[in-house]
Structure 1
Amino acid sequence: MEHEGKNNMNGMEMEKGKRELGSRKGVELTMRVLALILTMAAATVLGVAKQTKVVSIKLIPTLPPLDITTTAKASYLSAFVYNISVNAIACGYTAISIAILMISRGRRSKKLLMVVLLGDLVMVALLFSGTGAASAIGLMGLHGNKHVMWKKVCGVFGKFCHRAAPSLPLTLLAAVVFMFLVVLDAIKLP
């Protein structure tokens, strides 16, 4: 009789454990989908930011200004290209990790968990470095640099700056989501 009570209790504990595992897996899947959306949006927003404008340049004070058509694109700045690339890599990795999560259905080995954990850590590092690089150049464009006599670019290409700026918080938010995924992955390791 006492033995049956223990079996019944073990069955209830197993059921509770399955529910916790399922909810944790649901949280992980939700966070990975969020990371996928954020990285895709950040890469797209920065990648399509472009503005063409006619800029007057005065070469010699006695001559009239020379009008030149110039274009501002993210591909002209290596830090922005790096940020776009990092977001694209993170987006691709996230799609693969979602597929692994769906295929494994909770039967992931310790090796697979470790690979996913390391992948998530790499994404955290890449996304934070991409955010830092793009932010530094963005601030330079916004404020200029008096010491080296670089003028404010956003004063001329304001539309470009306003279109490119949202990619930075999106990338930062994606990095934070990956940090939480690292914590979730670490909790799963025995």
Structure 2
Amino acid sequence: MPNNEAKFSVNQPLKTQKLFIGVQIFFRIVAIAASVASSWLMITSKQVIDIGGIVLDARYSYSPEFKFLAFTNIVVGCFSLLSLLFLVLVVRQGSNPNHYFFLFLHDLAMMSLVVGGCAAATTVGFLGKHGNSHTGWMQICDNFGKFCNRAQTSVTISYLNLICLSILTITSASKSRKMEA
């Protein structure tokens, strides 16, 4: 029985390390995919309608908030890809808490960018969907349903990206707390 306990305690850190790396790789890939999907949906969202001979169009580029979300997701996707490559290099070199601290800082910065983009796009999306009677802003999603649905899907995917980046931030922080002075 003591032999089994020794074997279990030796393999446990290796299994934990492999699980951590697997979780990191999985969530980084999901974050990259979510960033690409959200950006693509937002950039390609446009709709043209004809109301009584007047042609109106809605595009993401007409809203600074939607542009901010799209470009934020592009930046986060690119930097998440770089962090995935960095993680692969870290795994090959061995576990060093300092490397995980850099991943933590990266994940925290990327999460902060996505929070800002999601907040801005959610605000303007809410106004587009519901309007604001106190200020006289009318809702536009009744007329531009396709545009609003694509923008809403893009924002929803960005929130999925935010969840992935939050998990990455927490796990990186947990791993980096073992830093030596």
Q: Tell me which stretches of 4 or more aligned residues in structure 1 moved more than 4 Å.
A: 8-12
1:20 Cα shift?
Answer: 1.4
Asked if 1:174 corresponds to 2:161, the answer is yes
1:70 Cα shift?
Answer: 2.0
Contact 2:39/2:73 (<8 A) preserved: yes
Asked if 1:68 corresponds to 2:30, the answer is no
TM-score with structure 1 setting the length? 0.85
| Counterpart position of 2:18 | 22
Q: 1:79 is matched by which residue type in structure 2?
A: E
1:11 Cα shift?
Answer: 6.0
- Spell out the pairing of 1:113-128 with structure 2 (5 A cutoff): 113-128=100-115
Instruction: State how many pairs are aligned.
Output: 175
Asked if 1:146 corresponds to 2:116, the answer is no
Matched residue of 1:105: which SS?
A: helix
The one of 125, 137, 140 equivalent to 2:124 is 137
Q: Which structure features the higher share of helix residues?
A: 2
1:182 Cα shift?
Answer: 1.1
- In angstroms, what is the RMSD of aligned CA positions? 1.9
TM-score with structure 2 setting the length? 0.88
Q: 1:126 is matched by which residue type in structure 2?
A: L
- Spell out the pairing of 1:5-84 with structure 2 (5 A cutoff): 13-56=9-52, 67-84=53-70
Matched residue of 1:54: which SS?
A: strand
Q: 2:75 is matched by which residue type in structure 1?
A: I
Unmatched segments (≥5 aa) in structure 1:
57-66
* Overall identity of the aligned pairs, in %: 25
Unmatched segments (≥5 aa) in structure 2:
none
Asked if 1:98 corresponds to 2:84, the answer is yes
1:126 Cα shift?
Answer: 1.2
Query: Structure 1 residues 144-153 or 107-116, which shifts more?
Result: 107-116
Contact 2:90/2:99 (<8 A) preserved: no
Q: 2:24 is matched by which residue type in structure 1?
A: E
Q: 1:130 is matched by which residue type in structure 2?
A: G
